[in-house]
């Protein structure tokens, strides 16, 4: 009997601890873009014990026949928190989830939307299957605990690289814009022409240093230039506050200038550390996570440019 009560007490403690972690998740800042689009702006910090991995922007689109959620967070708990926020804004069921790319902070919350049809690029699905376990390990390490209910759930319907697909979901017209590559080789942006709103995923971020971890920079810069041809009023980036077309142009210029500076250094035979000393990083230093990200970013760009020269 003592052993039974000991097990029961342990179970209650586990449930209590799990619940406290879930309750401690930071609330998103909900920004009403228009009557049917709400942006859930997440924290800009990197994943840590305090935010339990919550660091991403998500989007709710309320359609005629259902709701659409774009990007679902890093864990099942974050996905569940987002689902509760969605339910406060609409009684319509979530019929579709769209993942802008495979990184876990954008896709591992899919678990919380079991009745939704999941859509992504083909490469997003492939990369999620290949690297999903790694992303679960990343968030568990950062949060300092396990997330046993966080699973890799990938798209049922996918779209190819370097494609443009016009479709209507839940009565909402949208265009899936999939570059050859950008922040990853599986990125997808969602253009809502009737709203003049672009949901960019991490192809665009605002006030934070973008991660070059899985990037192909030359194609990323090209994708940023392509955005300038759209009659955009509002951009919901993958991280950070809403952006204007002018903000997107500034990011494009910042990325292009960095690339050309590193390329010039490679051609001059400099090492990546020598190149960093010569780069003008004034604008980059204004961004969150500059110290944590920029060294690795320059090295990634250096290696890409160096490989292209052979």
C-alpha closest to that of 139 among 108, 110, 179, 168: 108
Beta strand ranges found along the chain (DSSP E): 29-32, 37-41, 58-62, 67-70, 94-98, 117-121, 157-159, 163-169, 172-178, 189-192, 197-201, 234-237
Q: What pLDDT score does 20 carry?
A: 43
Q: What pLDDT score does 189 carry?
A: 98
* Alpha helices by DSSP H, 90-182: 104-107, 122-143
Q: What pLDDT score does 13 carry?
A: 38
Choosing among 3.60.15.10, 3.30.700.30, 3.40.718.10, 3.30.420.10, the CATH entry for 24-244 is 3.60.15.10
Q: What pLDDT score does 24 carry?
A: 80
**Calpha distance 99→119 (Å, rounded):** 6
Give burial (CB, 10 Å; 0-12/13-18/19+) of 231: exposed
- What pTM does this model have? 0.92
Sign of CA dihedral 174, 205, 23, 147: positive
Q: What pLDDT score does 47 carry?
A: 96
Q: Rg of the chain's alpha carbons, rounded to an integer?
A: 20
pLDDT by residue for the chain (310 residues), tens only, comes to 444 334 334 433 343 344 444 448 999 999 999 999 999 999 999 999 999 999 999 999 999 999 999 999 999 999 999 999 999 999 999 999 999 999 999 999 999 999 999 999 999 999 999 999 999 999 999 999 999 999 999 999 999 999 999 999 999 999 999 999 999 999 999 999 999 999 999 999 999 999 999 999 999 999 999 999 999 999 999 999 999 999 999 999 999 999 999 999 999 999 999 999 999 999 999 999 999 999 999 999 999 999 998 7
Report the residue count for the chain.
310
**Calpha distance 68→95 (Å, rounded):** 6
**Calpha distance 154→92 (Å, rounded):** 23
Record the tokens describing residue 189, joined without a space.
């942006």
117-121 sheet: strands from edge to edge: 29-32, 37-41, 58-62, 67-70, 94-98, 117-121, 157-159
Q: What pLDDT score does 9 carry?
A: 40
- Residue identified by tokens 């209507």 is 168
Q: What pLDDT score does 107 carry?
A: 98
**Calpha distance 297→149 (Å, rounded):** 32
**Calpha distance 229→224 (Å, rounded):** 10
Q: What pLDDT score does 309 carry?
A: 82
For the beta carbon of residue 7, count every other beta carbon within 10 angstroms.
10
DSSP H or E run through 70? strand 67-70
C-alpha closest to that of 119 among 65, 189, 55: 189
C-alpha closest to that of 168 among 65, 70, 33: 65
Record the tokens describing residue 99, joined without a space.
């993942």
């Amino acid at each position: 009997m003592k052993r039974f009560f000991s097990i029961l007490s342990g179970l209650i403690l586990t449930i209590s601890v799990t619940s406290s972690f879930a309750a401690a998740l930071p609330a998103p800042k909900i920004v009403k873009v228009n009557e049917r689009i709400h942006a859930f702006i997440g924290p800009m910090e990197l994943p840590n014990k305090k935010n339990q991995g919550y660091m991403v922007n998500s989007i709710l689109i309320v359609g005629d026949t259902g709701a659409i959620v774009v990007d679902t967070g890093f864990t099942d708990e974050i996905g569940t928190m987002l689902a509760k926020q969605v339910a406060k804004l609409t009684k319509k069921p979530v019929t579709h989830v769209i993942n802008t790319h495979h990184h876990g902070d954008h896709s591992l919350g899919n678990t919380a939307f079991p009745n939704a049809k999941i859509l992504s690029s083909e490469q997003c699905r492939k990369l999620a299957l290949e690297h999903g376990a790694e992303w679960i390990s990343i968030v568990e390490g950062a949060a300092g605990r396990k997330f046993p209910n966080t699973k890799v759930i990938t798209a049922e319907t996918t779209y190819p690289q370097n494609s443009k697909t016009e479709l209507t979901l839940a009565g909402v017209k949208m265009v899936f814009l999939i570059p050859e590559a950008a922040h990853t080789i599986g990125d997808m942006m969602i253009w809502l022409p009737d709203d003049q709103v672009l949901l960019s995923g991490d192809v665009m971020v605002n006030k934070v240093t973008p991660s070059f971890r899985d990037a192909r920079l030359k194609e990323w810069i090209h994708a940023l230039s392509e955005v300038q041809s759209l009659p955009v009023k509002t951009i919901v980036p993958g991280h950070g506050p809403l952006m204007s077309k002018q903000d997107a142009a500034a990011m494009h210029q910042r990325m292009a200038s960095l690339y050309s500076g590193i390329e010039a250094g490679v051609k001059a035979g400099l090492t990546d550390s020598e190149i960093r000393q010569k780069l003008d990083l004034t604008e980059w230093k204004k961004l969150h996570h500059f110290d944590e990200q920029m060294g690795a970013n320059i090295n990634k760009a250096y290696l890409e440019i160096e490989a292209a020269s052979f």
